[in-house]
Amino acid sequence: MNTVLTKEPMSRHTTWRVGGPADVYFRPASVGELQAFLGDLDRDTPIHWTGLGSNLLVRDGGIRGVVIAPGRALGDMVRRSDCCVEAGAGVPCTSFARRCAGWGLGPAAFFAGIPGTIGGALAMNAGAFGGETWDTVIDVDTLDRAGRIRTRPRSDFTVGYRQVTGPADEWFLAARFEFVAQSGHDADAVRDLLRERQQTQPLGLPSCGSVFRNPPGGHAAQLIESAGLKGERIGGAEVSAKHANFIINTGDATAADVEALIARVRDRVEANHGVRLELEVHIIGEAA
């Protein structure tokens, strides 16, 4: 059964644990329900999609329009052939990495370093530990505002570093990936990458993952740290002492605190290094 909520606090659905209310929050139970919902929606209503709520800052005034959280409705993952894997947009990237490793397919271990879902990874060409999502994509299924499903080849999309451009007003439902048979070491690689994340990132505290993209030839975390910003704080938002490209909610942060700290970090890094850091996190919604 689907779930439709009004004035739903997005702080319940983002990994930063901040964010004002969405006018409408919709969690479909199936693709069919999702199609019907979109088909009935006024074409001028803004639509926002969310997976696990990582890589997302929702402002304190909330989101006008509809937030769609497909979750389990798009949570299937199957092996289509010896080397082809199909995954729904709601599959967590860590689950994807583990399943591919279990099948002896790769390279997919790097997905263990991505804190979101396959849908979010497709939308921004997410990557970690040297791998990027679209490196092995064959084709994708998309859904438009009218509820129509299309299968599109990789060539319909322009893919770059942390950005993907494709047909307007279509969203990812699923993708098929082509891998090669591995020697069985990918399972060890997944465990190693998860252990590395645990050791180098503040995983036990509310954050969004990496806030900034790495600039060409450099690392955002190194620039932030060398600018003396580790531990910098505004309200309840703080630059992590463990990994400088993470901003954590120490317990009572608002979205305004986080956004103000993001601006301070960008300004300080630019003043110290002459580099204007680009955001990896998406900021949406209205200020309070």
* Active site amino acids: 162, 210, 280
Calculate ∠ Cα 129-87-110, nearest 5°: 10
DSSP character string of the chain: --EEEEEEEGGGSSTT----EEEEEEE-SSHHHHHHHHHHS-TTS-EEE-SSSTTEEE-TTBEEEEEE--GGGG--EEE-SSSEEEEETTSBHHHHHHHHHHTTEES-GGGGG--SBHHHHHHHT-EETTEEGGGGEEEEEEEETT--EEEEEGGGSEEETTEEE-STTEEEEEEEEE-EE--STHHHHHHHHHHHHHHHS-TTS---S--BPPPTTS-HHHHHHHTT-TT-EETTEEE-SS-TT-EEE-SS--HHHHHHHHHHHHHHHHHHHS--PPB-SEEESB--
Side-chain half-sphere exposure of 177, counting CA atoms within 13 A: 29
In whole angstroms, what is the distance from residue 24 CA to residue 47 CA? 10
Residue 244, Ramachandran bin (φ over 0: left; ψ between -120 and 50: alpha; else beta) = alpha
- Beta strands 247-249 and 237-239, pairing class: antiparallel
